Amino acid sequence: MKARSYRQRDLACTEYTLEVPLDHARPDGERIEVYAREIVDAAKVDAGLPRLLFLQGGPGGKGLRPSSRGGWLGRALQDYRVVVLDQRGTGLSTPANRQTLARRGDAKVQADYLTHFRADAIVADSEVLRRELQRDQPWTVLGQSYGGFCALTYLSFAPEGLREVFVTGGLPPLGGTADDVYTLTYVRTLEKNALYFDRHPGDRDLCARVVEHLETHDVRLPTGERLSPRRFQTAGMRLGMRADFDGLHYLLEESFVDGVDGPELSDTFLTGLGGSLSFATNPLYAVLHEPIYCQGSASAWSAERLHAQRPEFALEADTPFLFTGEMIYPFLFAEDPALVPLREAAEILAAKDDWPALYDPDQLARNDVPTFAALYYEDMYVARELSLATAAAVRRVTPWITNEHEHDGLRVAGVLDRLIGLSKETS
């Protein structure tokens, strides 16, 4: 393992790069690199603090890049040395995107490669890192959103590596199918639309005007592709984050300007919208979003199939406009330049019906690792019904159910403080 240390303001950081098997079931096969950064309060470098591994949301999200001690990181640094992982395929770990995957071969080869980028592999990577850093000593894990999914996989298959677990907005369903997930998240998305248009009532007609303009004009995003009405509709993915909820409104209020030939969509609007719609920085999010729910079944483009059963989301003149939410649709692989080269591989993954299990319900039922989970009652991304069922099925889970925060509640330092407080109360 390679290591490099440096100071950044009042933080002491050490970067680690280590090689791990692409397929942990074949340790002598192909190897890839995984990158992690350890962050310590510079005043506590020699304090002997235990380590906390932070597992980022996603899939396909790289680890936190620290710039200050604000938010949850500042709270964590009071008690821990924080290890932030660039999950395989992201950040400074061996990347997986349209550029690197093209070097591997055809779509089938790419799809086979991508089957090794789910939570089970991330947990196995984490265990390699843990043993490199502290041998057999267990550590604490904090999983945000998809990181919480990974934490439950960790509890299932490598509980000996865990001292305690904190989960924020990420208790996953232990069984079922992707259809079960999207059936509920479409309902949450309807609720978020109602809240949004109640707060910004003029935006519904404005969105309908944008859709009409896109249907009758060839509008190009800064990346060159035509902006379709359905792709504009996916901007609602932001509605589940408190920090982004009103940002969509502020973007829309600058949507039109008067051009030479009449009203047209402004560069300001298209640039802001294009940045939020592109998967160029996290293509694994799109490719693996439905497979993260698959265990022994195919997703078969679940969100798209269920969309066809939800006439409320139709872009018809006589249907009030609604945004969609955290759903990945096959048309995105025909429209987003970052995803177009991955279209065939994504189709293969959507049809794959022999995905291995990500959770062990029996092991979780006898779990002995103290686990503390923040469940956001109005979470648009992780349905409370499924999270509550998981909390009831996993031994030694202490849930904190709240409607005070949205899915991005971890950004508020008090959320982690509450979970750490629960841990201390029960120890």
Q: What is the pLDDT of residues 277-298, one digit of tens each?
A: 999 999 999 999 999 999 999 9
Residue 245, pLDDT above cutoff 80: yes
Question: Do 272 and 224 belong together in one domain?
Answer: yes
**Helix residue ranges per DSSP H, 60-135:** 71-79, 98-101, 107-114, 119-134
Question: Do 41 and 137 belong together in one domain?
Answer: yes
d(CA 415, CA 143): 13
d(CA 320, CA 124): 47
Residue 9 pLDDT class (50, 70, 90 cuts): confident
Average pLDDT over residues 287-310: 98
**Residue after which a domain boundary falls, among 323, 351, 379:** 351
Question: Do 372 and 336 belong together in one domain?
Answer: no
**Residue after which a domain boundary falls, among 351, 372, 395:** 351
**Residue after which a domain boundary falls, among 351, 380, 413:** 351
Question: Do 191 and 92 belong together in one domain?
Answer: no
Looking at every residue in the chain, the average pLDDT score rounds to 97
Owner of token pair 């060159």: 224
d(CA 117, CA 285): 11
pTM greater than the 0.95 cutoff? yes
Report pLDDT for 426: 86
Question: Do 298 and 238 belong together in one domain?
Answer: yes
- Residue 368: partners with Cβ closer than 8 Å, 6 or more residues away: 159, 395, 396
Catalytic residue (one of 289, 302, 407, 423):
407
d(CA 376, CA 403): 6
Token pair belonging to 62: 């790289």
Question: Do 182 and 169 belong together in one domain?
Answer: no
Question: Do 105 and 237 belong together in one domain?
Answer: no
- Residue 407: partners with Cβ closer than 8 Å, 6 or more residues away: 145, 169, 240, 241, 376, 379, 380, 381, 382
Residue 413, pLDDT above cutoff 80: no
Token pair belonging to 82: 């924080």
Catalytic residue (one of 93, 126, 145, 255):
145
Question: Do 280 and 373 belong together in one domain?
Answer: no
Question: Do 288 and 236 belong together in one domain?
Answer: yes
d(CA 95, CA 98): 10
Q: Which of 106-115, 329-338, 404-413 has the lowest mean pLDDT?
A: 404-413
Residue 427 pLDDT class (50, 70, 90 cuts): confident
Residue 98, pLDDT above cutoff 80: yes
The CATH number for 143's domain is 3.40.50.1820
DSSP at 223: T
Report pLDDT for 148: 98
What percent of the chain lies above the pLDDT cut of 90? 96
Active site annotation includes 407 = yes
Question: Do 260 and 397 belong together in one domain?
Answer: no
β-pairing, 371-376 vs 162-168, is parallel
Residue 20 pLDDT class (50, 70, 90 cuts): very high
Average pLDDT over residues 221-246: 95
Q: Is 237 helix (H, G, I), strand (E, B) or coil?
A: helix
- The continuous run of DSSP H or E covering 140 comes out as strand 139-144
Residue 247 pLDDT class (50, 70, 90 cuts): very high
Residue 139, pLDDT above cutoff 80: yes
Question: Do 198 and 147 belong together in one domain?
Answer: no
Report pLDDT for 243: 85
Q: Domains in the chain: how many in total?
A: 2
Report pLDDT for 248: 95
pLDDT digit string, tens, across residues 27-80: 999 999 999 999 999 999 999 999 999 999 999 999 999 988 888 999 999 999
Q: From the CB of residue 218, how many other CB atoms can be counted at a distance below 10 Å?
A: 7
Token pair belonging to 407: 């899915």
Residue 136, pLDDT above cutoff 90: yes
Beta bridge partners of 257: 264
d(CA 6, CA 175): 44
Owner of token pair 């750490």: 420
Report pLDDT for 17: 98
Question: Do 170 and 45 belong together in one domain?
Answer: yes
**Residue 184: domain span:** 178-351
Report pLDDT for 244: 87
Residue 104, pLDDT above cutoff 80: yes
